[in-house]
Amino acid sequence: MTPKESDRVIGSRNLRGDIAFAFGLAAACYLAWMLRKVLFLLYVSALAAVVLTPVVRAVSRARVGHYRPFKGRAILILLVASLGALTAFGFLALPPVVRDLEEFSHELPVRLPVFLDHLKRIPFADRLNTAEISSRIEDFASNAATYLLLSIKNWASAIFSIGMEIILTIYFILEGDVAYRWMLSFFPLQKRVRLDAALQRADVRMGKWLLGQGSLMLILGLLSTIVYATLNVRYAYALGVLTGLLNIIPVVGAAVSICLALLVAAIDSWGRVLGVAIFYILWLQLENSFLLPRIMGTSVGLPGLSILAALLIGSELGGILGAVVSVPTAVLVSVLLNEYLVQREDPELETTSVDT
């Protein structure tokens, strides 16, 4: 075979290989798109395992006398504690809400005309069709049970997803090291070491984020519960716990908790609404000027614009769950971008330019 024929054969093999690679890549992208919900669930579970692993290690290192739980028992302890707290919250928070909703449904025919009469006195509100508003509210109240039954399927699907996420997170915590080493084995040794170092840095920063975010949630939950109870706002303890939990979602969580607390406070008096509004104004000042710089510090290391962009992208792709994991994901992406894409100047060239 002549050199020209040999080059022609090699070129045809390379062309067939490129075509096969292109078709394989297209098939992989199509499969990933079809399985996007499953892949997102796996990603969220893996990220939750990465964030919660330091907590599990801390519990496993704790000693009660001569007893020291290993990793499996530490996970069980955390799971039982979480389920116990959730059950206690349900027993303490839900009965007053259900009781008030029942009273509201019974008193609606009497209170609704009075409310609509007050509504007409508001400027520009007299143009509203109060008869249509009244009929729609009464129809919704009478068919509330039907709406609830129709949404059971959605609730069941959400509960199933949450249960699968918890199970996958537990498996990732227990067997995450094996999966992590398996993933790194696909890279050459030199690149593997570099990627491992970058991911370890991201792991440390995400652990610090969890510690700082948990501290902020605890402080806000305690302060809001005290303020709500002092102002005699309805469901003070339930609102306080919910306010602390929602603070895990940047910006949006605080906005939702503010609107919910103001709405509940408006049921009784405008003075309580004013008190809740003043509390949130003071909290925003305290959080932004004192707590965030000292608790978070440089653990996240992301500007506010990056956090907002990550929040918008995460909520668009994954809803509430995507918003929750948006900041840890942004931390991971920033570490990888800083490692592989950010161009740094050569220290020797920089020193030479300064001397010149």
In a domain, 2, yes or no: no
In a domain, 250, yes or no: yes
pLDDT for position 296: 60
pLDDT for position 349: 47
Query: Which of 166, 159, 154, 158 shows the shortest CA–CA distance to 44?
Result: 166
* Structure tokens belonging to residue 55: 């907590």
CA distance 175 to 198: 21
pLDDT for position 13: 59
In a domain, 106, yes or no: no
- Is pLDDT larger for residue 185 or for residue 127? 185
Highest mean predicted confidence (pLDDT) among 53-62, 298-307, 323-332? 323-332
In a domain, 11, yes or no: no
Average pLDDT of the residues in 217-232: 88
What does pLDDT average to over the chain? 75
Q: State the amino acid at position 135 in one-letter form.
A: S
Q: State the amino acid at position 348 in one-letter form.
A: E
Contacts of 161 (CB under 8 A, 6+ apart): 41
Contacts of 309 (CB under 8 A, 6+ apart): 330
Average pLDDT of the residues in 179-196: 86
pLDDT for position 146: 55
* Structure tokens belonging to residue 257: 């908790």
Q: pLDDT tier at 91 (50, 70, 90 boundaries)? A: confident
CA distance 242 to 30: 40
Q: Are 250 and 218 in contact (CB under 8 A)?
A: no
Radius of gyration, CA atoms only, the chain: 28
Query: Which of 297, 303, 293, 354 shows the shortest CA–CA distance to 327?
Result: 303
Average pLDDT of the residues in 124-128: 55
In a domain, 15, yes or no: no
Lowest mean pLDDT among 24-38, 188-202, 283-297, 339-353: 339-353
Average pLDDT of the residues in 162-166: 80
- Give yes or no for residue 307 having a pLDDT over 60: yes
Query: Which of 244, 235, 245 shows the shortest CA–CA distance to 272?
Result: 235
**Terminal Cα distance for the chain, rounded:** 60
Lowest mean pLDDT among 15-29, 68-82, 209-223: 68-82
Burial of 31 (0-12, 13-18, 19+ CB in 10 A): exposed
Looking at the chain, the whole-number percentage of residues with pLDDT higher than 90 is: 1
Model pTM above 0.95: no
Angle at 84 between CA 83 and CA 87, to 5 degrees: 85
* Structure tokens belonging to residue 104: 């509201």
In a domain, 230, yes or no: yes
* Structure tokens belonging to residue 239: 């609102």
Query: Which of 137, 131, 128 shows the shortest CA–CA distance to 104?
Result: 137
pLDDT for position 351: 47
Taking the CA atoms of 127, 128, 134 and 139 in sequence, report the sign of the dihedral they define.
positive
Domain total in the chain? 1
Boundaries of domain holding 258:
188-341
In a domain, 245, yes or no: yes
Backbone angles phi, psi at 64, to 5 degrees: -120, 95
Query: Which of 134, 143, 132, 144 shows the shortest CA–CA distance to 108?
Result: 134
- Is pLDDT larger for residue 79 or for residue 198? 198
Q: What is the pLDDT of residues 28-84, one digit of tens each?
A: 888 888 888 888 888 888 888 888 887 777 777 776 666 666 666 777 777 787 788
Q: pLDDT tier at 350 (50, 70, 90 boundaries)? A: very low
Angle at 40 between CA 35 and CA 42, to 5 degrees: 95
CA distance 105 to 265: 19
In a domain, 247, yes or no: yes
Lowest mean pLDDT among 46-50, 161-165, 274-278: 161-165
